[in-house]
Structure 1
Amino acid sequence: MRVLVYGSGQLAQMMYLAAAPLGVIVSAVDVVTETVVNPISKKATGVPLHRAIEESNAITVEFEHVPEHLLLDADKSGKLYPNVASILAGADRVREKALLVKNNIPNCEYLLIDHVDQLDDVVERLGEKVIFKASRDGYDGYGQWRISSASDLVNVRKDFALLDLKKVPVIAEKMMQFDREISLVGARSQDGQIACFSLAENLHHEGQLHVSVAPITQLTEALQKKAKDIFETLATAMDYVGVLAVELFQCGEELYVNEIAPRVHNSGHWTQQGCSTSQFEQHIRAVLNLPLGSTELIGTSAMVNIIGCTAFSRDLIGIPDVHLHWYGKEVRKKRKMGHINVVAKSHASLGKKLKQLIEFLPVEYFPKLESEATRLENEKN
């Protein structure tokens, strides 16, 4: 069996590695050159794209910002999973908000801005603390503006005057006073089978994910069920096939959807060592309509992103149950170079292990790690 992935970054690479033991061959598409490449070496395979589509049993994506003409070409084959509408909902915040509203999914209060004069009503409607998000091509903190008082709108107005807001509108969201950011990664197969992983707790720095911990601390069955109900509603409404990530704000016992990602997701990388089936294998299973794998936990896990740095000691893999995943990229500021998965028996022991890990890392690139390690170390479970 063959799977063709649009996008040739680390997610395609990890799908390739997860698919190999199943006897599934994964190829990737460099969406800039429209060339079929090997997901590991990135070298062209010599297979024309039209033939790769014909020879594939399933076609999928590693990110939602695939050029639309490529998605439509892939869709004609009848083998694209998830479907085009689902991918576009993840790529466009206007479509995403419409999806949430249509399905009565709680989300942040918002306004659609497609003209700079609409900024006049923002503070009155949403309050003084607002985050503005470009409806397309914004991720990892890019394409975002924040205000904490009405006076901050002066600079936002200047920036927006330079944008084509009709072409790419902006979503203005009321900043929520949430307790924490969590996410649920799950999968739905072609025949409607659904399997969700445990909730993960996510720590961000400058708009970028730095650490995920799963399961979340103080996890209750009610909270997991509430998140799963949201996942099932969205996945069923979209007739979704594959792995889907739902990012959530927790406010007390209530959950509000922040974003959806129609693909394998950074906050699910911990599943590689922390679960019976990784999110990458699960995605391959789902798009090929194979039985979904068990999402049973192997332990308590943390995923630590390596961002913009290569200067750390590989000796960190000498710590028991610490695993390095390297992407082979050229270093660049804010670029995800790899990640580290850590597995332990409890949150407290996970905290101790993260303290050990810190000794091998340049702390300036891991600003959330020490405080998170201390928090987990004090957990009683």
Structure 2
Amino acid sequence: MHVLVLGAGQLARMMSLAGAPLNIQISAYDVNSETVVHPLTQMTTGNDLASAIRQADVITAEFEHIPLDILAVCEKSGKFLPSTEAIKAGGDRRIEKKRLDDAGVKNARYFVIQTYEDFHKAIEHVGVPMVLKSALGGYDGKGQWRLKELDQADTIWAEMAECIAATDHQAIVAEEFVPFVREVSLVGARSANGTVAVYPLAENVHTNGVLSLSTAITDQALQEQAKQMFTAVAESLGYVGVLALEFFDVSGSLLVNEIAPRVHNSGHWTQQGSETCQFENHLRAICAMPLGSTRLIRETTMINILGEDRLPEAVMAMAGVHVHWYGKVKRSGRKMGHINVCGDSSGSVQNKLSDLAQWLDQAAYPALHEFVRKSSTQA
């Protein structure tokens, strides 16, 4: 079986690693350089998308922001999964919001802005404070604003107007500010026959809009809510593959914040924490294989490595600590890899995180240090 992945980053890399035991060969199409590369070595293996499509049994994607002309060619082949509509929903917040509404899934009140007049209508409809996000592009905290007081409106509008003018078909989506208790996400898979398998919820901590730390949690009431909402969205999209929903936990009631139509950063813990990782289950789903078990087999926390390209030897020597590098050139704030920390119990994981914090710099790993500080205060 040969799978062509649109995108040549770390998610394609991890799909390749997960696919090898199943005899699934992965090629990656770099949409920026317009070349086909090996997802692990990054060596160029071709520069003809049409040939790569012909050679592939299945085509999938590792990110949402795929040029529409490339998406159209892949869709025409009849090999693309999950679907172009799902990818568009993940890449355009206007489509995403409509899809959530169509699926009957709760999400924050919103209003789409293209003009200054729309901005003031949004203020009336959504209220202040509000969160504003670019409809196209923007991720890891980029392309976002917060309107906390009305006297900020003109300053923020100037920045948003510049954003709208810079990209064709751009707009801003205004959302009500949700006073959530925490952010959680659910990663799951759906097969073409409608079979759904979801992983345990993960509680997520962000730093400057970038995911820093994810921990698999057990909360049966929230899990059931999340699974129902996941199933509704996946069925509405006719989805095949792994899908992630990001939620706000509002005192035990979930609101969907975002859809991610792909394997997801908050699901990296499944590589060590679950019987079948998210990367393998994505490949199983799109290659028409039975889904693997999503059962939690050990308590796990994932820590993102941002802007760092090495770790102390003491970290590498710790039992239950698994490091995953992405083979990237170091750049400030860049996702360079992640660390999965495993234990027999939540207490065991907390102890290991405390040990890790002694070796990892607070400026580079603020979420880890804050987690350890809170844990020690609550103990």
Tell me which interval the TM-score lies in, with the shorter structure as reference length: over 0.9
- Give 1:63's aligned residue: 63
Provide the rounded CA distance (Å) in 2 between the counterparts of 1:22 and 1:65: 28
Asked if the contact 2:270/2:278 (under 8 Å) is kept, the reply is yes
> Which secondary structure does the structure 2 equivalent of 1:373 belong to?
helix
Provide the rounded CA distance (Å) in 1 between the counterparts of 2:129 and 2:78: 45
Provide the rounded CA distance (Å) in 2 between the counterparts of 1:137 and 1:20: 32
- Identical aligned residues as a percent: 44
Shift of 1:379: 7.5
- Give 2:214's aligned residue: 212
- Give 1:191's aligned residue: 193
Asked if the contact 1:37/1:43 (under 8 Å) is kept, the reply is yes
Q: Is it true that 1:351 corresponds to 2:353 in the alignment?
A: no
Equivalent runs, 1:216-295 vs 2, <5 Å? 219-295=218-294
Provide the rounded CA distance (Å) in 1 between the counterparts of 2:276 and 2:70: 30
Asked if the contact 1:311/1:362 (under 8 Å) is kept, the reply is no
- What is the TM-score normalised by the length of structure 1? 0.95
- Give 1:169's aligned residue: 171
> Which secondary structure does the structure 2 equivalent of 1:181 belong to?
strand
Asked if the contact 1:271/1:277 (under 8 Å) is kept, the reply is yes
Shift of 1:128: 2.2
Q: Is it true that 1:328 corresponds to 2:327 in the alignment?
A: yes
When structure 1 is superposed on structure 2, of 46-55 and 32-41 the one drifting more is 46-55
Provide the rounded CA distance (Å) in 2 between the counterparts of 1:379 and 1:82: 43
Shift of 1:277: 0.5
Asked if the contact 1:185/1:268 (under 8 Å) is kept, the reply is yes
- Give 1:310's aligned residue: 309
> Which secondary structure does the structure 2 equivalent of 1:301 belong to?
strand
Q: How many residues align?
A: 377
Please list the CA deviations of residues 325-371 of structure 1 after superposition, one character each: whole Å capped at 9, or x if unmatched. Answer: 00111111221011000111222221111011112212101111122
Provide the rounded CA distance (Å) in 1 between the counterparts of 2:314 and 2:55: 42
- Give 2:81's aligned residue: 81
Q: 1:214 to 1:378 in 2, by over 3 A?
A: farther
Provide the rounded CA distance (Å) in 2 between the counterparts of 1:164 and 1:181: 28
- What is the TM-score normalised by the length of structure 2? 0.96
Shift of 1:53: 1.1
Provide the rounded CA distance (Å) in 2 between the counterparts of 1:160 and 1:376: 39
Provide the rounded CA distance (Å) in 2 between the counterparts of 1:31 and 1:171: 26
Instruction: Give, as a single letter, the amino acid of the residue that structure 2 aligns with 1:68.
Output: L
Asked if the contact 2:112/2:122 (under 8 Å) is kept, the reply is no
Shift of 1:71: 0.9
Instruction: Give, as a single letter, the amino acid of the residue that structure 2 aligns with 1:208.
Output: V
Please list the CA deviations of residues 221-259 of structure 1 after superposition, one character each: whole Å capped at 9, or x if unmatched. Answer: 221111000000011111000000000001112110000
Please list the CA deviations of residues 130-179 of structure 1 after superposition, one character each: whole Å capped at 9, or x if unmatched. Answer: 11100011100001011211111121122133243682010011110001
Asked if the contact 1:348/1:377 (under 8 Å) is kept, the reply is no
- Give 2:204's aligned residue: 202
- Give 2:41's aligned residue: 41
What value does the CA root-mean-square deviation take over the aligned residues? 1.6
> Which secondary structure does the structure 1 equivalent of 2:230 belong to?
helix
Shift of 1:190: 1.6
> Which secondary structure does the structure 1 equivalent of 2:65 belong to?
coil
- Give 1:21's aligned residue: 21
Q: Is it true that 1:178 corresponds to 2:180 in the alignment?
A: yes
Provide the rounded CA distance (Å) in 2 between the counterparts of 1:142 and 1:160: 12
- Give 2:298's aligned residue: 299
Unaligned segments of structure 1, at least 5 residues: none
Instruction: Give, as a single letter, the amino acid of the residue that structure 2 aligns with 1:176.
Output: V
Asked if the contact 1:271/1:279 (under 8 Å) is kept, the reply is yes
Shift of 1:220: 3.0
> Which secondary structure does the structure 2 equivalent of 1:41 belong to?
coil
Provide the rounded CA distance (Å) in 1 between the counterparts of 2:79 and 2:99: 23
Asked if the contact 1:347/1:376 (under 8 Å) is kept, the reply is no
Please list the CA deviations of residues 270-329 of structure 1 after superposition, one character each: whole Å capped at 9, or x if unmatched. Answer: 000000100001111011010100111111110000111225314312111100000111
Provide the rounded CA distance (Å) in 2 between the counterparts of 1:250 and 1:238: 24
Equivalent runs, 1:78-117 vs 2, <5 Å? 78-117=78-117
Instruction: Give, as a single letter, the amino acid of the residue that structure 2 aligns with 1:24.
Output: I
Asked if the contact 1:245/1:263 (under 8 Å) is kept, the reply is yes
Instruction: Give, as a single letter, the amino acid of the residue that structure 2 aligns with 1:234.
Output: V
> Which secondary structure does the structure 2 equivalent of 1:125 belong to?
helix
Equivalent runs, 1:132-171 vs 2, <5 Å? 132-164=132-164, 167-171=169-173
Instruction: Give, as a single letter, the amino acid of the residue that structure 2 aligns with 1:6.
Output: L
Provide the rounded CA distance (Å) in 2 between the counterparts of 1:298 and 1:373: 23
Instruction: Give, as a single letter, the amino acid of the residue that structure 2 aligns with 1:328.
Output: G
When structure 1 is superposed on structure 2, of 38-47 and 204-213 the one drifting more is 38-47
